[in-house]
């Protein structure tokens, strides 16, 4: 997957003579994008109209929203544009290039599996090895379909039960390419469940009554691209004009294109040419629909430390609002108890409007068409942090972030098994 340039070949030669391991990593990480002209600004007291202008303007990459403040990655040129709009912004990171370079330094040191991030091919091998080691409780499907560029999208099913109609919990990861912690934490949870089945009573009891489905890569092409070219790429890799990529989390068939997404291919929230226009959306949606009965589903993201429930496209309450809120709040409490990190539990629209998201689709009539009498509880989970590192979360936070998710995931599954959402 990774193309080796002349410079990288020279580096490899040098490393061969030096015998230094750090060099090997630096030679294979091949970022092409330079962020030299970019900064992250924090804008305060942003009005609804101003937010609308920012979110639809190409070149504006919104990283974080809290109350009326937003953090945006922009070029210096666009800092002027913000100023002209009358928006008050201060510089949060004066060099995105330095931020990425600092992150890359951490990547160069070889560590244990969960102490570093890994490339697509290595993660696939890791899942295959796990599946071969835990044959009793894992069923590994190498591909639920191909991505736009032809990469496989595997599925991992984990259960201790052999009953035919066991309830399921569905997790999908790495829908946004640059949110590396989402894939890493999904891997952490998979590994935790496998290592603890038969050793930990709570895990054993749970896996004997439920089946977990993990889709480790919703956006494998985008993820590969963040390693090879642009660490901050978000969308899939559909080639387009004048810009590439569709935001897969605006492409699901639930109130598609009804606000909080863009018809401009250059926007970070470009929703594509129609609902489920993208192979990655189709593959995950078809797989979800073919697996019944799914009681709950989480679409894993970063960053902001949030537990978001339906809806994103309307401020109306979902019919099961009380139950959805209780589950979100309960997860937040359990996360907090591990390392004291606070995750806000709220409705998606409380953050900002979105449509065509995976979370709202999981809870929709379309997704639950084969789900018997039940409706899947859909959530977006935004992992660490709240902006210090953002998408460039250092690898030494993978384990603590994974640790704080485990009790939340156990609670999520147990609560839905006890009291599933009925249609």
The residues carrying an active-site annotation are: 382
Residue 308 found at the interface with ligand 0X9 (CB under 6 A): yes
Residue 255 found at the interface with Zn ion (CB under 5 A): no
* Residue 352 interacts with which of ligand 0X9, Zn ion, none, CB < 5 to 8 Å by class: ligand 0X9
Cα angle: 403, vertex 409, 411; to 5 degrees:
115
CA–CA separation, 72 and 92 (whole Å): 9
Residue 359 found at the interface with Zn ion (CB under 5 A): no
Name the pairing type of β-strands 377-383 and 306-309.
antiparallel
- Within 10 A of 44 (CB to CB), how many other CB atoms are there? 12
Q: For residue 416, which phi and psi values (nearest 5 degrees)?
A: -70, -30
Task: Fill in the DSSP letter of residue 5.
Answer: P
Structure tokens given for 178:
């640059």
Nearer to ligand 0X9, 3 or 48 (CB): 48
Least gap, CB of 12 to ligand 0X9 (angstroms): 35
User: Which position among 181, 294, 335, 351 is part of the footprint of ligand 0X9 (CB under 6 A)?
Assistant: 351
* Residue 172 interacts with which of Zn ion, ligand 0X9, none, CB < 5 to 8 Å by class: none
Least gap, CB of 238 to ligand 0X9 (angstroms): 17
Cα angle: 372, vertex 330, 254; to 5 degrees:
45
Residue 235 found at the interface with ligand 0X9 (CB under 6 A): no
User: Which position among 159, 236, 354, 376 is part of the footprint of ligand 0X9 (CB under 6 A)?
Assistant: 354
Residues 298 to 317: which contact Zn ion by CB under 5 A?
301
Least gap, CB of 185 to Zn ion (angstroms): 13
CB 57 within 8 A of CB 51: no
Cα–Cα separations (whole angstroms), residue 215 to 92, 175, 362: 34, 10, 14
Residue 178 found at the interface with Zn ion (CB under 5 A): no
Number of residues that bind ligand 0X9 (CB under 6 A): 14
Name the pairing type of β-strands 38-44 and 344-347.
unpaired
- For CA atoms 300, 304, 305, 308, give the dihedral sign: negative
Nearer to ligand 0X9, 275 or 348 (CB): 348
CB 264 within 8 A of CB 58: yes
Taking residues 160 to 199 in sequence order and writing x for each that binds ligand 0X9 by CB under 6 A, - otherwise, the string is ----------------x--x--------------------
Within 13 Å and on the Cβ side, how many CA atoms surround 15?
Answer: 16
User: Which position among 26, 345, 357, 401 is part of the footprint of ligand 0X9 (CB under 6 A)?
Assistant: 357
User: Which position among 380, 384, 401, 413 is part of the footprint of ligand 0X9 (CB under 6 A)?
Assistant: 380
Cα–Cα separations (whole angstroms), residue 164 to 71, 202, 285: 48, 22, 22
CA 377 to chain centre: 18
Q: Pick from 352, 349, 353, 360: which is nearest to 259 by CA?
A: 353
Least gap, CB of 84 to Zn ion (angstroms): 29
CA–CA separation, 280 and 297 (whole Å): 17
Residues 243 to 302: which contact ligand 0X9 by CB under 6 A?
249, 301
Nearer to ligand 0X9, 118 or 359 (CB): 359
Nearer to Zn ion, 303 or 311 (CB): 303
Residues that bind Zn ion (CB under 5 A): 176, 179, 301
Residues that bind ligand 0X9 (CB under 6 A): 176, 179, 249, 301, 308, 312, 348-349, 351-352, 354, 357, 380, 382
């Amino acid at each position: 997957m990774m193309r080796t340039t002349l410079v990288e070949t020279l580096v490899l030669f040098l490393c061969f003579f030096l015998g230094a391991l750090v060099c090997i990593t630096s030679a294979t990480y091949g970022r092409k994008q330079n962020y030299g002209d970019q900064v992250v600004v924090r804008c305060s007291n942003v009005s609804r109209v101003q937010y609308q202008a920012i979110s639809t303007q190409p070149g504006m990459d919104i990283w974080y929203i809290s109350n009326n403040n937003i953090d945006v990655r922009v070029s210096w040129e666009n800092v002027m544009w913000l100023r002209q709009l009358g928006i008050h912004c201060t510089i949060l990171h004066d060099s995105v290039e330095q931020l990425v370079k600092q992150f890359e330094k951490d990547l160069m040191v070889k560590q244990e599996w969960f102490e570093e991030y890994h490339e697509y091919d290595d993660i696939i091998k890791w899942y295959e090895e796990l599946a071969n080691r835990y044959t009793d409780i894992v069923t590994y499907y190498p591909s639920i379909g191909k991505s736009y560029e032809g990469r496989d999208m595997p599925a991992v099913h984990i259960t201790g039960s052999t009953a035919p109609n066991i309830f399921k919990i569905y997790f999908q990861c790495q829908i946004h390419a640059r949110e590396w912690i989402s894939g890493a934490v999904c891997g952490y949870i998979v590994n935790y469940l496998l290592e603890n089945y038969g050793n930990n009573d709570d895990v054993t009891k749970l896996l004997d009554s439920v089946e977990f489905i993990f889709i480790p890569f919703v956006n494998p092409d985008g993820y590969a691209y963040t390693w090879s070219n642009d660490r901050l790429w978000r969308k899939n890799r559909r080639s387009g004009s004048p810009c590439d990529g569709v935001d897969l989390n605006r492409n699901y068939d639930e109130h598609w294109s009804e606000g909080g997404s863009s018809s401009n291919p250059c926007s970070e929230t470009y929703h594509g040419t129609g609902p489920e226009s993208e192979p990655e959306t189709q593959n995950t949606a078809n797989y979800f629909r073919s697996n019944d009965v799914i009681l709950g589903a989480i679409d894993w993201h970063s960053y902001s430390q949030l537990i978001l429930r339906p809806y994103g496209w309307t401020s109306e309450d979902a019919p099961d609002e009380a139950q959805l809120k209780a589950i979100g709040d309960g997860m937040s409490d359990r996360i907090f108890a591990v390392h004291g990190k606070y995750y806000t539990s709220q409705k998606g629209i409380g953050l900002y409007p979105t449509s065509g998201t995976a979370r709202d689709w999981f809870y929709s009539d379309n997704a639950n068409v084969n789900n018997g009498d039940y409706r899947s509880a859909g959530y977006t989970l935004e992992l660490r942090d709240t902006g210090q590192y953002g998408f460039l979360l250092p690898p030494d936070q993978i384990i603590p972030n994974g640790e704080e998710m485990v009790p939340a995931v156990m609670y999520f599954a147990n609560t839905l098994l006890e009291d599933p959402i009925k249609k």
